[in-house]
Structure 1
Amino acid sequence: MLSHQHEIFLEVARLLSFTKAGQALFLSQSAVSKQVKALEEYYKTGLFERLGNSVVLTPAGELLYQKLLLAKQLQHDLHQEFTTLSEDFSPQMRMVIGASTTISLYIIPPVLSAYLSKFPNTQLTLKNRNSENILKALLEHEIDLGIIEGIHKVSNVTYTPLLTDEVVAVCSARNPLHREELVAQDLLHIPVALRESGSGTLAVLEEALATHRIKLTDLPVKVRLGGTEALKNFVRVDTCLAFLPRQAVMKELASGELIEVPVRDLNLVRHFDFVQRKGTENNVPYKSFVQFAQRYYSKQE
Structure 2
Amino acid sequence: MDWDKLRIFHAVADAGSLTHAGEVLHLSQSAVSRQIRALEEHLDTNLFHRHARGLILTEQGELLFDATRSMVKRIDAATARIRDSEEEVFGELRVTTTFGFGSLWLAPRLPKLYEQFPELNIDLLLDERVLDLPMREADVAIRMKEPSQADLIRKRLMSIRMRLYASPEYLDAFGTPEKLEDMSQHRLICQNTRSAQVAAGMMLVQELMTHNVRSTLTVNNYFGVLQAVVSNLGIGVLPDYIIEDFPHVVRVLPEVESIEVPVFLAYPEELRHSKRVAAFRDFVQNEIIAHRRTLKALVGTE
Aligning the two structures, in what range does the TM-score lie when normalised by the shorter sequence? 0.5 to 0.7
CA–CA distance in 2 between the matches of 1:10 and 1:189? Answer: 63
- State the one-letter code of the partner of 1:270: V
Determine the structure 2 residue equivalent to 1:222: 216
Alignment partner of 1:266 is 2:257: yes
Report how many residues are paired.
262
Q: 2:92 aligns with which of 67, 77, 94?
A: 94
- State the one-letter code of the partner of 2:103: L
CA–CA distance in 1 between the matches of 2:272 and 2:8? Answer: 14
CA shift, 1:275, in A, is: 6.3
What TM-score, normalized by structure 1, do the two folds share? 0.59
Task: Classify the secondary structure of the residue corresponding to 2:62.
Answer: strand
Alignment partner of 1:240 is 2:234: yes
CA shift, 1:208, in A, is: 4.6
Residues 146 and 40 from structure 1, CA distance in 2 versus in 1: closer, same or farther, beyond 3 angstroms? farther
Once the two structures are superposed, what CA deviation does each residue of 1:188-238 show, in whole Å capped at 9, x if it has no partner?
77541112443536x43214567xxx4868763511134434322323454
Determine the structure 2 residue equivalent to 1:55: 62
CA shift, 1:260, in A, is: 0.4
Percent of aligned pairs sharing the same letter: 9
Alignment partner of 1:79 is 2:75: no
Residues 234 and 250 from structure 1, CA distance in 2 versus in 1: closer, same or farther, beyond 3 angstroms? same
Residues 150 and 41 from structure 1, CA distance in 2 versus in 1: closer, same or farther, beyond 3 angstroms? same
Conserved in 2, the CA contact under 8 Å of 1:166 and 1:245? yes
CA–CA distance in 1 between the matches of 2:70 and 2:216? Answer: 51
Conserved in 2, the CA contact under 8 Å of 1:97 and 1:144? yes
- State the one-letter code of the partner of 1:194: C
Query: Which structure 2 segments of 5+ residues have no match?
Result: 49-56, 290-302
Determine the structure 1 residue equivalent to 2:295: none
CA shift, 1:263, in A, is: 4.6
Q: Which moved more, 1:145-154 or 1:161-170?
A: 145-154
CA shift, 1:77, in A, is: 4.4
Tell me how large the CA RMSD over aligned residues is.
5.2
Once the two structures are superposed, what CA deviation does each residue of 1:223-261 show, in whole Å capped at 9, x if it has no partner?
1134434322323454632111223243443x3xx3202
Conserved in 1, the CA contact under 8 Å of 2:166 and 2:252? yes
CA–CA distance in 2 between the matches of 1:165 and 1:158? Answer: 22
Alignment partner of 1:105 is 2:97: no
Query: Which structure 1 segments of 5+ residues have no match?
Result: none
